[in-house]
Structure 1
């Protein structure tokens, strides 16, 4: 196994709500960030990260994002930044990349109302 290459086939798949996420680079890689590829078909419920800033890059499709009090569209080729502590939600159909810095930690994630 390479410490520099992270094949999609080795990724760990997580599912919640209408989201499927493949974790490729995680905190276990001793990296300052984590990287995942995700597919949303529907609704990503409101959430907040107490630990990480989160960047999304839309590969295909489009999403309606709500970040804090701002609602906007993001389509293929767009990037979105969600600062740590900001409530965010998404709706639509898209494939996208998610980068968390520092790495994603499920214990630091909260559902938001």
Structure 2
């Protein structure tokens, strides 16, 4: 078990002051604002990483995970956002299950040509053509279950997802780079785009232009296409929606 004796002021878990006081010792605590606490958490992350590298204990990994989730939250992202990004990167580049160790890492510039390059100069590579359900990543985010078929790794111009929901997408958000195009396969619902409501049903197509904030409710099965392919850094949370 960890000792609570410290080396100066530092971020601690919410229950630590009470544990210390219940043991008969005294401690002084100050509640910081989110902006003040964030750099303290990032310093704590370095401390916990060093402790894990020294001990290799599972408890230290749990501490790291708790810190990472809170840091993401203070930087404006939810646990679901972080998990979605993790799965997207795993789909695009794989995980670490195969124990790959690169002996001669290439320069970063060697990976992809700039999009403005002459197509004749772009080297031809073998890319996947058919994307099957059994090979896709599945995530749940804000009440919507999503099957990710393609990402920007497969096509910079567009990405394709299949979505199912019983209630809708419980988050209003805006994307600064991609249009969102939905083809409704089954069910019906309401899209709220820039505070305007639009009723939709099976066979309809909904186009949400880039830069428009939106959310939707309803019981739906649909295909979502983002053009160009969705990138997390251009998406911004507006507010949670109670459906």
TM-score normalized by the length of structure 1: 0.93
The structure with higher relative contact order (CA 8 Å, sep 6+) is 1
Q: Which residue of 2 aligns with 1:56?
A: 182
Shift of 1:109: 1.2
Unaligned runs of 5+ in 2: 1-125
Greater per-residue strand proportion: 1
Query: In the alignment, which of 196, 201, 204 is matched to residue 75 of structure 1?
Result: 201
Residue 13 in 1 paired to residue 138 in 2? yes
Tell me the SS of whatever aligns to 2:211.
coil
The within-5 A match list for 1:91-110 is 91-110=217-236
Shift of 1:30: 3.1
Shift of 1:31: 3.9
Greater per-residue helix proportion: 2
Deviating above 4 A after TM superposition, structure 1's stretches of 4 or more consecutive aligned residues are none
Residue deviations 1:71-105 (CA, integer Å, cap 9, x gap): 01110000000001101110011010000011011
The number of aligned residues is 113
Shift of 1:2: 6.6
TM-score normalized by the length of structure 2: 0.45
Would you say the 8 A contact 2:155–2:229 is kept in 1?
A: no
Q: RMSD between aligned alpha carbons?
A: 1.5
